[in-house]
Amino acid sequence: MSTSESAPRTDNSPISKTDEEWRRELTPEEYYVLRQAGTERPFTGEYHDSHAQGVYQCRACGHELFTSNEKFDSHCGWPSFWAPLAEERVRYIKDNTLGMQRVEVRCARCDSHLGHVFEGEGYGTPTDQRYCINSVSMKLVPAPEPAPTD
């Protein structure tokens, strides 16, 4: 390959788009949550009570973030996971808004807001963490159906 050619884009390559591009590609609700760090109403999201198997991707860029293996029922109104697919899939930002000290979780690839992570709540998960993620921030890619055995 010559030096004038660009390197192939990998799954972890950062995505940078203008605000106008994001507004064109996302619905108003997706834009509000993903790009303006909003929060969907509790118990209204598509995945808050889902037990489907698969991989949860960032709705904005398709980056794989969580799997159903780490999802658990926290009954908080939003999908909850005890760990991301891999630490490098997400990034963390201190969030002192609304008079609280929280840790915001963002997609490491496109910097979209996903939700927050909380520690020490006693859910009995392997990490004692709860990634409280907005359904609208993700899309579930269902696991393939097992092949029938004859």
pLDDT classification of 150: cutoffs 50, 70, 90: low
Question: What rounded mean pLDDT belongs to the chain?
Answer: 89
Does residue 2 belong to any structural domain of this protein?
no
Q: Total structural domains in the chain?
A: 1
- Residue 124 located in a structural domain: yes
Residue 57, domain CATH: 2.170.150.20
Report pLDDT for 96.
84
Instruction: Choose, from 58, 107, 110, 132, the residue flagged as catalytic.
Output: 132
Q: Burial of 129 by CB count in 10 Å (0-12 exposed, 13-18 middle, 19+ buried)?
A: buried
Classified as helix, coil or strand, 92 is strand
CA–CA dist 90, 2 (Å, integer): 33
Annotated catalytic residue 110? no
Asked whether the predicted pLDDT for residue 41 surpasses 90, the reply is: yes
Write down the residue that tokens 């009995």 correspond to: 124
Distance, CA of 132 to CA of 74 (rounded, Å): 9
User: pTM for the whole thing?
Assistant: 0.86
Pick from 25, 47, 61: nearest CA to 136:
47
Residue 55 pLDDT > 90, yes or no? yes
Residue scoring higher pLDDT (110 or 13):
110
**pLDDT tens-digit series, residues 58-105:** 999 999 999 999 999 999 999 999 999 999 999 999 988 878 889 999
Task: Provide, rounded to the nearest whole percent, the portion of the chain with pLDDT above 70.
Answer: 92
Structure token pair of residue 93: 């930002």
Q: Is 4 among the domain residues?
A: no
